[in-house]
A and B are shown apart, each in its own frame.
Chain A
Amino acid sequence: MAIMKSKRAELATAAVLMAPFIIIYGVLFIYPTIKMVQVSFTDAPLIGDGQFNGIDNFVRLWKDRLFSTSVWNTLYFVLLSVIPSTIIALFLAMGVNRLKGWLQSIVLACFFLPYILPVSVVYRIWAWILDKDFGIAQVLLAPFNGGTNINVFRDLPLFMPAAALLTVWWLIGFNMLLYIAGLRNISTEIYEAASLDGAGRWTQFWNITWPLIWPVTVLVLTIQLILQLKIFDQVYLFSRGGRVDATSTMVQYIYKQAFQLNHGGVGAAASLVLFLVIVIFSVLQFQLLRTRGGEK
């Protein structure tokens, strides 16, 4: 009897302790998600309720050329940013890892510095670096454009690569940090043993570093994938006033529908699609990469 009582008391304590998290998670995540699914089947405006209209919103997305442009742009951006930022981060981390003492700290800080900047600052910096008339980068760009300056963010083929480039520059510090932590976990004895056996740099990297760092790579890739599928800020800021439709991404499409055009239902439907895309992609990627790593 006494045991049961104390168990019940324990349960009560557990419930009280967990309540804040459960309530916050429920109110700020579960409830809005359910609501989003609900709204996506209605013709609701941004504020207030709408009439149930079945799968009309999804049919509309399917037919909307702007939505398919947005999906392709998002995937293109992911391709341009996720893999480069992972690979470059690994190589930079290996480089920084070879440095010693305060030099290492300074170099690491330099690479990490952009990461702490807010996106608006990143936008300002790069807008001026690349400015068509006054940007210093034009010295390097103009020779490739027949000697005349070029507006990188108004020339369509260059827009996404440029946005990806500055995104890599901006976020690479964080990936590097994860890699450096991973590299420090690899025991130096393994490298010593390998070099005694006559393994060169490349063999060491390919047979020791790469397989042992694989779990970090999976983590970095997954974080980056989820983050970049939700790309909005940079593209929004750089395309503002320009050819916004041609460079639109999925979150931008949601923003346009819900906030600019007051089509809450369509916005919710597009959000649901993005939500599912992210869930499917990240689960698939994580599983795929994990098994591949396991085989090694």
Chain B
Amino acid sequence: MKKFIKAALAATALVTVTAFAAGVQAKDTIVWWDFLGGGDGVRMKSLIDEFNKEHADTVEIQATTLDWGTPFYTKVQTSAAVGQGPDIMTYHESRIPLGISTGSLSVITPEELAASGIKADDFEPANWKAAQGADGKQYAVPLDIHSIILYYNKTLLKNAGLLGDDGKPKGLDGVANWDAALAKLTANGVVGLSVPTADGGTMWRIFYTLLNQQDGVFLKDNKFLDGDNLDKAATALTEMNKWVKSGWTPKQTEYAASIALFTSGKAAFHINGVWEVPTMVDLQKKGQLFDWGAIQIPALYAHPATWADSHSFAIPNRVGNPVDAAKRKLVLDTVHWFNQHSLEWAGGGHLPAFSPVRSSDDFKNLKPNSDYSSLAATAVFDPVSTLAGVASPVYDAAGNYVLPAMNGDLDPKDAASQMRDDLQGQVK
């Protein structure tokens, strides 16, 4: 027994020494967590590989991809609280208010940003501000702007006379024109528009888009859908319900099925996130997709506006074991590198947050991204609240009220007021 323990101790010591020696020689490492498991995740992985190759002698990113949504944010929160976790992580801007309230995020000072060459002027103001707390401090640096867009089937649109000479749809602005287009396209076993009508997340994105096109305010001064905003919400819901009621949009369609309806040519339009662009691009490359395009969601009401969120980079607030100053500098340098190289990330459908890349000629030549990049200027980000953001009570409320309203299981007016009361009841 004693011999065994001795041997075990010796082995442990040896391993420790070797590890230590290796640690001294090794280059800097950055522990990285993200939630990018989809088609865009593949692009991020190749970007990370590129970074590691370029910095082969100095820095290495050790990346782990975790489950999107509540599981990711719970893990970040629990690990940060006990001084564990990554040096850098991806974070939805819409989720930052909740991240601040749970103490998961570390403030990035203006000096640190300046030292790494990160400037607010290089980002859309709304995008940059969405990475700040109510205290005006910076908690993250945006990487992209992602939104919902209108995918369209060029052949079907052309047959209906809805395609302009530039290859883009024409005459869709305004509710009357939009409805007329959907009605016209719904014929011969084809529907006008496919939407994941069984998915609350998409419901929220469309609803918030239509609300903001009417200058509706979802949340202000801790009041949900205050005053006539309730009517605007009901207007948006009534319009969404009309698409289903009129047979232009199939009811209760699951996420994957709604994409399949479009890609199989059974729907002329499809509304979904920019992150499905790779799906279409890859299908077309294999010769399995018709001629398609994507544009910003048309202005059905007063002016264009589209829901948007943003993937950003943040440093966790590791209690008792903070990321040290040198590592923070390294991390922010890395963030800047990723923003400068975000053209590749745009291949995932996203719009680069970094304006120099977004206004570059390379990006202007990137299709279809450049066809819908105009949405960045009128993008509306989620309300700033601990109740809003990805996988938040607001998202749940979309599933609970917007979804049944659109599918005709709940009266739009009732749905709007029930949603307001539910969320208002959750305000502390």
Interface residues of A (CB under 8 A from B): 45-48, 127, 131-134, 150-151, 153-156, 241-246, 256, 259-262
Indicate if the CB atoms of A133 and B257 lie closer than 8 Å.
yes
Specify the chain A residue showing the minimal Cβ separation from B407. A154
Give the interface size class of chain B. 20 to 34
Indicate if the CB atoms of B102 and A262 lie closer than 8 Å.
yes
* Selected contact of B78 from candidates A46, A244, A260, A261, CB within 8 Å: A46
* Selected contact of A241 from candidates B261, B399, B422, CB within 8 Å: B399
Indicate if the CB atoms of B77 and A47 lie closer than 8 Å.
yes
Q: What's the dominant secondary structure at chain A's contact region?
A: loop
A134 to B256, CA, bound (A): 10
A151 to B255, CA, bound (A): 12
Chain B residues with Cβ below 8 Å from A262 are: 77, 98, 101-102, 386
Binary interface encoding of chain B residues 308-332 relative to chain A, with 1 for a CB under 8 A from any of its CBs, else 0: 0000000000000000000000000
Leading 4 A-B pairs by shortest Cβ distance: A151-B252, A47-B81, A133-B257, A241-B199
Q: How far is the CB of B219 from chain A (nearest CB, A)?
A: 16
Indicate if the CB atoms of B400 and A47 lie closer than 8 Å.
no
Indicate if the CB atoms of B102 and A245 lie closer than 8 Å.
no
Indicate if the CB atoms of B257 and A245 lie closer than 8 Å.
no
A246 to B199, CA, bound (A): 15
A259 to B426, CA, bound (A): 15
Indicate if the CB atoms of B200 and A134 lie closer than 8 Å.
no
Specify the chain B residue showing the minimal Cβ separation from A261. B393
Q: In residues 398-413 of chain B, which contact A (Cβ within 8 Å)?
A: 399-400, 403-404, 407, 409
A154 to B391, CA, bound (A): 19
Chain B residues with Cβ below 8 Å from A47 are: 77-78, 81, 102
Chain A to chain B contacts (Cβ below 8 Å), 25 pairs: A47-B78, A48-B81, A127-B254, A132-B198, A132-B252, A132-B253, A132-B254, A133-B250, A134-B257, A134-B260, A151-B251, A151-B254, A154-B198, A154-B252, A154-B403, A154-B407, A156-B409, A241-B198, A244-B399, A245-B396, A256-B396, A259-B70, A260-B70, A262-B77, A262-B98
Residue B201 CB within 8 A of the other chain? yes
Residue B392 CB within 8 A of the other chain? yes
Specify the chain B residue showing the minimal Cβ separation from A155. B252
A262 to B201, CA, bound (A): 21
Indicate if the CB atoms of B399 and A259 lie closer than 8 Å.
no
Interface residues of B (CB under 8 A from A): 70, 74, 77-78, 81, 98, 101-102, 198-201, 250-255, 257, 260-261, 386, 391-393, 396, 399-400, 403-404, 407, 409, 422, 426
* Selected contact of A242 from candidates B198, B260, B391, B393, CB within 8 Å: B198
Q: How far is the CB of B409 from chain A (nearest CB, A)?
A: 8
* Selected contact of B392 from candidates A48, A154, A242, A260, CB within 8 Å: A260
Chain B residues with Cβ below 8 Å from A241 are: 198-201, 255, 399
Chain B residues with Cβ below 8 Å from A48 are: 81
Indicate if the CB atoms of A133 and B260 lie closer than 8 Å.
yes
A260 to B101, CA, bound (A): 13
Indicate if the CB atoms of B393 and A260 lie closer than 8 Å.
yes
* Selected contact of A259 from candidates B74, B257, B393, CB within 8 Å: B74
Q: How far is the CB of A59 from chain B (nearest CB, A)?
A: 15
Indicate if the CB atoms of B74 and A242 lie closer than 8 Å.
no
Q: How far is the CB of A212 from chain B (nearest CB, A)?
A: 47
Indicate if the CB atoms of B70 and A244 lie closer than 8 Å.
no
Indicate if the CB atoms of A132 and B257 lie closer than 8 Å.
yes
A8 to B260, CA, bound (A): 74
Chain A residues with Cβ below 8 Å from B404 are: 243
A92 to B393, CA, bound (A): 44
Chain B residues with Cβ below 8 Å from A133 are: 250, 253-254, 257, 260-261
> 20 additional contacts, CB 8 Å, given A45-B102, A262-B102?
A46-B77, A46-B78, A46-B102, A132-B198, A132-B253, A132-B254, A132-B257, A133-B253, A134-B260, A154-B198, A155-B252, A241-B199, A243-B404, A244-B200, A246-B400, A256-B396, A260-B70, A261-B426, A262-B77, A262-B101
